[in-house]
Amino acid sequence: MQLSLARQFKKPWMKTALQDKFIHGFFFFNGMLSVVILLGIFTLLLFTSFPAFNEINPIAFLTGMEWNPTSYVKEVYGIVPMLVSTFMVTLGALAIAIPLGIGTAAYLSDVASPRVREIAKPTVEILAGIPSVVIGFLGIVLVGPIIAKVFRIPNGLNAVNGSVLLAVMALPTIVSISEDALSNVPHSYNQASLALGASKWQTVVRVKIPAALSGIIAACMLGMGRAIGETMTVLMATGCAPAMPESFLGPVRTLTSSIAIELGEVAYNTTHYYALFALGLVLFVITFIINMASDIILHKFEQVNR
């Protein structure tokens, strides 16, 4: 009798303990999945771009001034024009988005009344929900013609257009994270500064923004990462001429739009195809470095404020 009772208790307990371990293991593997995917993306890009360098000199690839994979005479694979294009468009976007973004964040955290803030913050965040292809479409039908008129050029599809659109896309990221950083500055800083006779404006500029600086820098870097990796808007709005960009008012073709344009036309497993994966690898590495850096900055910032 006693034995059977003990067995009754023992058996289900054994079972649940085993089950629990099994479930723990299951969730652990599920948790590791993101690591596997990240590594998977990197390895697949690496291995698929590797065959390209049977025919292309890696140094010529990274320093070449011309990209012409479909030439009848000799195919040339040089990514410098695309790198220059990418950075032109991105820097232009940041030049617009950083002052606007920090200004908006400072307004939301320090000037706006709680009621205005309650409405204004989600409204700004609506911008993040607009699909990139819609922004690109507006670049063609709305921003393009305006730019053509203002600068008196025949065609508004150029680097400036791309910069304006990418600024719009990077803004929600910059505003949201900068605002968090500003709101997280201890209230005592604010009070101390005001007690010493500083005005509210002086407090914002000389106390709060410096105190939140690492968070703001991280926000700008995340915005930059978004701008570099954005495909559809630049594909639609920057004109996409594969030559070396001449000015901000000329057409440019970024890394992302080159992949988007050419991958559709190329046969699988040719040198050109592999070269496009090499472009993807370059893009992945650039954004990875930027994301890691902003992550480290943000992490430090959290520790300091604790």
Partner 1 sequence: MKKKDFHQMLGFVFLRACIGVVLFALAGILWDIFSKGFMVISWEFLTSMPKDGMTKGGIFPAIVGTFFVTLITAFLSIPLGMGCAIYLNEYSKKGKITRLIRMSIRNLSGVPSIVYGLFGVVLFVQMMQLDTSILSAGLTLGLMTLPWTITASEEALKSVPQSYRDGALALGATKWQSIRTNVLPYAVSGMLTGTILGLSRAAGETAPILFTGAAFYLPFLPKSLSDQFMALPYHLYIMSTQHHAIAKVRPIAYGTALVLIVLVFCMNFIAIITRYKLRKVRME
Min dist CB 229 to partner 1, Å, is 3
Residues 231/173, Cβ–Cβ less than 8 Å: no
DSSP 3-state of 253:
coil
Min dist CB 3 to partner 1, Å, is 22
Pick between residue 185 and residue 247 the one whose CB is nearest to partner 1. 185
Residues 81/66, Cβ–Cβ less than 8 Å: yes
Min dist CB 148 to partner 1, Å, is 16
Pick between residue 132 and residue 161 the one whose CB is nearest to partner 1. 132
Min dist CB 55 to partner 1, Å, is 20
Pick between residue 78 and residue 229 the one whose CB is nearest to partner 1. 229
Q: How many Cβ atoms are within 10 Å of 289's Cβ, its own excluded?
A: 12
Pick between residue 1 and residue 265 the one whose CB is nearest to partner 1. 265
DSSP 3-state of 252:
strand
Pick between residue 89 and residue 235 the one whose CB is nearest to partner 1. 235
Residues 182/106, Cβ–Cβ less than 8 Å: yes
Residue showing tokens 């803030």: 117
Min dist CB 152 to partner 1, Å, is 22
DSSP 3-state of 54:
helix
- Output the CA angle 50-257-127, nearest 5 degrees: 125
Residues 162/132, Cβ–Cβ less than 8 Å: no
> Comparing C-alpha atoms, which of 95, 83, 240, 257 is closest to residue 164?
95
